[in-house]
Structure 1
Amino acid sequence: MQTAHRIIKNYRRKRIIVCLVLSLSTLVCTLIIGFISQRNVNHQSTVAFVSHAVDTLDKILQPLETGRDVVQPLIGLPCVEVNFLLRKQAATLQTVRSIGLIKDGVLYCSSMFGNRDLPISQFQPQLPSSQPLLLLTADQPFLQGNPVLIQWYPLPGKSEDGVIEIVNIELIARLLLEPQLPIISDVNLTVGDKHLNHERQLTDSLVFGDDDNIYQQASINFPFTITVNGPGLTALALKTLPSQLPLAVIFSMLVGYIAWLATASRMSFTREINFGLASGEFELFCQPLIDAKKQDCIGVEILLRWNNPRQGWIAPDIFIPLAEEHNLIVPLTRYVLIETVRHLAMFPTAPGFHIGINVAASHFRGGELLHDLNRVWFSAEPAQQLVIELTERDTLMEMDFNMVEELHQKGVKLAIDDFGTGSSSLSWLEKLNPEVLKIDKSFTAAIGTDAVNSTVTDIIIALAQRLDIELVAEGVETSDQASHLRLHGVNILQGFLYARPMPLRDFPQWLAESSPPPASHNGDMMPSIS
């Protein structure tokens, strides 16, 4: 059987394990959620950055496309006549450094330099072209050594004539290509096969690290792409994880504390008793009371046994004190009453046959016991004699002595169980006026071996005889003990010498055969605690 310390320790250990698992799970989940959230934030920031860059460059180039309708009619006119208009248009667009007019493939007029006479193919082999082009190049005569973004618009139907617009690359680099550390470490503008980075360096290819996170977005309006790269999203999120640890630890400790409070009732022996009652895990046993002279069975003491499928057999001296401590002894006693009445047919119907039921003093408060007896016992009108057994260790102050008197009037006998083991025996005798005293088994075991306790036993016997109180000796295990008690006037004996506690259903067979009960019950060894 389990010990009280072991059972409570098991429940406490399970409770601690549950709280630790929940706390650690919360810590891990919080960190995982924080990691995933940070990774998503980094990705969203990257996407937002690239989308903003593409939209901004679209807005820069859009006025150039719209403004070509103003400039194209000037192609072919003398430069001296149109130069002022070109300068004015460049100033209006703001992002344009220079606007040039091309006639028959020759740049003949520039808003920045005025009259020119320069074949456009010499500095830009792809021009002139019959299609609009966006070019990124450093090979041009306008700003030697500096990259420029060239927008070419041909005159409809004339591929050799057109307008060339040089975009302010400094503004683009400043607005669009500045990295956003630590998420984005490099930004590149790609036009055709040329790439411009945030340091305004023009390259023919992009180079990335093996672990770099790369994201690209192309414009749907113009032929360019924005490419960004930076540390891997996973690596970057992992770097920020330590900063989230303090909050995650606090949150996990809070969850663990809440779990500790929540499991106070759910993972406790109290809940186990309630569950046992609801699941029918408790079973009634009985131990016969024997007439010392006639050797007949004149009654039984009803005993409650608990075969817990999760813990095994749990002894009464473990679960009864715990039930009393957690105010569950009354429901247990009520269960015993109901089950006893349900099995009354198993006991002799002789009026003198005693059925003893253990009741805690707390059950007497507020008339609760009398209410239960009226509802369960007296309503069944049993022929047997009911004996309410009170252990001397119960708290006398919890007794309702007015109800004690009512029980006497209803014919219920009161017995003091384990008499002589407490410290208020005389008070019990005076206030309860019991009909029965049950000599504790420790005094019975001392007969013939312990002179002091044996003397106490003789004193208890003499006291009971003087007060005309019936005596029952518990724990009788030897013939010598039985003979001594019988010779000293103890008329009712109870103990292993006659029968061990047995399930109620085994009692009729024992009574018929006067033989001990089987050694096992339902495949398990039966508890032998009386």
Structure 2
Amino acid sequence: MQSAHWIVKRYLHKRILLCTLVALGAFSLTLTIGFILQRSENKQQIENVTQRAVTTLDKILLAVENERDTLLPMVDKPCNNSLLKLRQQVAALKTVRSIFLVKSGIIYCSSAFGERSIPLRKLQPRLADNHSKLLLTIDRSLVKGSPVLMQWFPASKDGQDGVAIGINIDLVSDMMLDPFPPLITRVSLGIDDAWYVEDVGIIRQPIQREDERVYTRASSAFPFSIVVSGPSFWRLALRELPGRLPLALIFGLLAAWITWIATARRMSFSWEINMGIAQREFTLFCQPLLNTRAQRCDGVEILLRWNNPRLGPITPDVFIPIAEAKNLILPLTRYVLNETAKELHRFPADPKFHIGINVAAAHLRDDKILLEDLNNLWFSVNPTVQLTIELTERDALHDVNAGLLRALHGKNIQLAIDDFGTGNSSLSWLEKLHPDVLKIDKSFTHAIGTDAVNSTVTDIIIALGQRLNIELVAEGVETPEQANYLQRHGVHLLQGYLYAPPMPLEEFPQWLAEHNGPTTPIMP
């Protein structure tokens, strides 16, 4: 069975669960975004490294190519006439190791050694050629056995005349082929079917490990490509993920805190009560009050029921204490006053007919609030019936202005203490309020005929009411024995399942037509 504590605890758990889920979501989203950004950053860095390498070598080769028109005319000139210019070109180009002038396939002039007479194919079997050519090969002239990048410019249609330029690949490697760990573990220069790897040399097949990813960028100006290899983007991003955990944790906690603040109302039972009032989910019931001496129904007590479409039926024992604790009892009481005023046509237009409406002690703390509510919601419809305000003892009653009590009595409003004897300082209520009616709580009525302490208290309450000349109403009358006992002791206003259960307001006129005569007890 639901209780106020249980339902509030349930909402608290739901709120905590939601905040936890939001925190986890923000934590995961932060890590995911960080992972994606890191992966994109890794990819961008690799692209930048490869593009920078391609651009660097393009500039080197373009500088060499720009000297082609200067070097090719030297092919027909004697070596002694060209040697100085060749050496000046080597010094100017900086990355060039040597320049060879070739005539009829014979190297006849070298920038390093001067006059020579060596077949070009002896030093470079893949040269000469009738097209410009760029190749990775082994130096067999100046620094024998070392890798060299050869650039060939033909000077004749048959390709036997021309200029061969050896580019210092070690110097080029220092400028553009250094790895960039952990992002890049290896950088290779690829030309045709040969690859140069720093500290490895020239190889005929690129090195590739199963756990590495290869990224290639080709030059658009020259026939070479830069190949980089390293861990995959996602693996590198995963490596960086632990470093993002503090930030993700901060965002997760921040999101949870914002959610906790934002759901303070919506994820609470007070929000449900506000929603119930706004959506008119609360239904008015009434329970008849029988005058057994006059054999008639003298009035009803208005009761509130709530069939919450989101949570199911919720009893007043659950939502009334929460409404009082969350300062929502005043809107709830106004709702009852307003709805009851709209349904007055269902009750006898008799000034002696009582309609009891429960009002919390909080409604009496301000002299004006209760009077304003009554004027706006009750007296505005010019009611004929007698209004009885039933004060519950769940809240402690503070000082009540005597002027307020006089104003209420002046408007012919009766004051009743509901559930007398079960709440806060009942005797002090009698002194402060001077009530017209005491309603004996059902716990004392049920004790009639037993040896329980409550049975003795029932007799004391009856004697007290009679001594103070306060009208007594017994609640929770369920058996003929209880009714007979109360009547014998002078209590003739009875309310309970013995006579009628709580019923919707629309059913009351039919019940009244059938039972407003000799009292006919109705068993539950």
Taking structure 1 as the reference length, the TM-score comes to 0.93
Q: What is aligned with 2:441?
A: 440
Cα deviation digits, residues 203-223 of structure 1 (max 9, x gap) = 111131223211001101111
Identity among equivalent pairs (%): 55
CA contact (8 A) 1:215 1:228 kept: yes
Q: What is aligned with 1:253?
A: 253
Q: After the TM superposition, which of the residue ranges 326-335 and 290-299 deviates more from structure 2?
A: 290-299
Over 3 Å counting, the alpha-carbon distance change for 1:153 and 1:126 in structure 2 is same
**Counterpart secondary structure, 2:154:** strand
Q: After the TM superposition, which of the residue ranges 164-173 and 14-23 deviates more from structure 2?
A: 14-23
Alpha-carbon deviation of 1:200?
A: 4.9
Alpha-carbon deviation of 1:158?
A: 6.2
Superposed, 1:116-131 pairs within 5 Å as: 116-131=116-131
Cα deviation digits, residues 23-80 of structure 1 (max 9, x gap) = 2222222222222222222111111110010001011111111112222222221111
Over 3 Å counting, the alpha-carbon distance change for 1:516 and 1:274 in structure 2 is farther
Alpha-carbon deviation of 1:195?
A: 0.7
**Counterpart secondary structure, 1:44:** helix
CA distance in 2, matches of 1:8, 1:392: 22
Over 3 Å counting, the alpha-carbon distance change for 1:319 and 1:423 in structure 2 is closer
Q: After the TM superposition, which of the residue ranges 381-390 and 475-484 deviates more from structure 2?
A: 475-484
CA distance in 2, matches of 1:175, 1:471: 105
Aligned amino acid, residue 256 of structure 1 = A
Alpha-carbon deviation of 1:444?
A: 1.6
Q: What is aligned with 1:428?
A: 429
CA contact (8 A) 1:68 1:153 kept: yes
CA distance in 2, matches of 1:456, 1:124: 123
CA contact (8 A) 2:361 2:393 kept: no
Q: What is aligned with 2:176?
A: 176
**Counterpart secondary structure, 1:125:** coil
Q: After the TM superposition, which of the residue ranges 456-465 and 49-58 deviates more from structure 2?
A: 456-465
CA contact (8 A) 1:292 1:482 kept: no
CA distance in 2, matches of 1:423, 1:395: 6
CA contact (8 A) 2:15 2:263 kept: yes
Over 3 Å counting, the alpha-carbon distance change for 1:362 and 1:214 in structure 2 is same
Q: What is aligned with 2:471?
A: 470
Over 3 Å counting, the alpha-carbon distance change for 1:234 and 1:425 in structure 2 is closer
Aligned amino acid, residue 56 of structure 1 = T
Q: What is aligned with 1:52?
A: 52
Alpha-carbon deviation of 1:456?
A: 3.0
Q: After the TM superposition, which of the residue ranges 157-166 and 267-276 deviates more from structure 2?
A: 157-166
CA distance in 1, matches of 2:247, 2:432: 63
Q: What is aligned with 1:527?
A: none
CA distance in 1, matches of 2:263, 2:394: 31
Q: What is aligned with 1:189?
A: 189
Q: What is aligned with 1:394?
A: 395
CA contact (8 A) 2:188 2:226 kept: yes
Over 3 Å counting, the alpha-carbon distance change for 1:32 and 1:255 in structure 2 is same
CA distance in 2, matches of 1:201, 1:453: 104
CA contact (8 A) 2:4 2:321 kept: no
CA distance in 1, matches of 2:455, 2:134: 118
**Counterpart secondary structure, 1:75:** helix
Any unmatched runs of 5+ in structure 2?
none
Alpha-carbon deviation of 1:455?
A: 3.6
CA distance in 2, matches of 1:363, 1:408: 16
Q: What is aligned with 1:371?
A: 372
Over 3 Å counting, the alpha-carbon distance change for 1:510 and 1:156 in structure 2 is farther
Q: What is aligned with 1:522?
A: none
Alpha-carbon deviation of 1:453?
A: 3.3
CA distance in 1, matches of 2:423, 2:271: 30
CA contact (8 A) 2:474 2:491 kept: yes
Cα deviation digits, residues 105-150 of structure 1 (max 9, x gap) = 2211111111111121222233222211111101532321001111
CA distance in 2, matches of 1:175, 1:425: 96
CA distance in 1, matches of 2:188, 2:423: 93
CA distance in 2, matches of 1:400, 1:153: 113
CA contact (8 A) 1:179 1:198 kept: no
Over 3 Å counting, the alpha-carbon distance change for 1:128 and 1:271 in structure 2 is same
Superposed, 1:69-80 pairs within 5 Å as: 69-80=69-80
Aligned amino acid, residue 343 of structure 1 = E
CA contact (8 A) 2:284 2:504 kept: yes
**Counterpart secondary structure, 1:42:** helix
Cα deviation digits, residues 495-530 of structure 1 (max 9, x gap) = 1111111111121121122389998xxxxxxxxxxx
Alpha-carbon deviation of 1:447?
A: 2.0
1:340 matched to 2:349? The reply is: no
The alignment of Structure 1 onto Structure 2 pairs a total of residues equal to 519
Aligned amino acid, residue 385 of structure 1 = Q
Aligned amino acid, residue 333 of structure 1 = T
Q: What is aligned with 1:230?
A: 230
Over 3 Å counting, the alpha-carbon distance change for 1:181 and 1:405 in structure 2 is same
Q: What is aligned with 1:81?
A: 81
Alpha-carbon deviation of 1:371?
A: 0.8
Cα deviation digits, residues 166-217 of structure 1 (max 9, x gap) = 1111111111111111111111101111110021510111131223211001
CA distance in 1, matches of 2:6, 2:256: 24
1:165 matched to 2:168? The reply is: no
Q: What is aligned with 2:490?
A: 489
Over 3 Å counting, the alpha-carbon distance change for 1:74 and 1:227 in structure 2 is same
Over 3 Å counting, the alpha-carbon distance change for 1:516 and 1:77 in structure 2 is farther
Q: What is aligned with 1:523?
A: none
Taking structure 2 as the reference length, the TM-score comes to 0.94
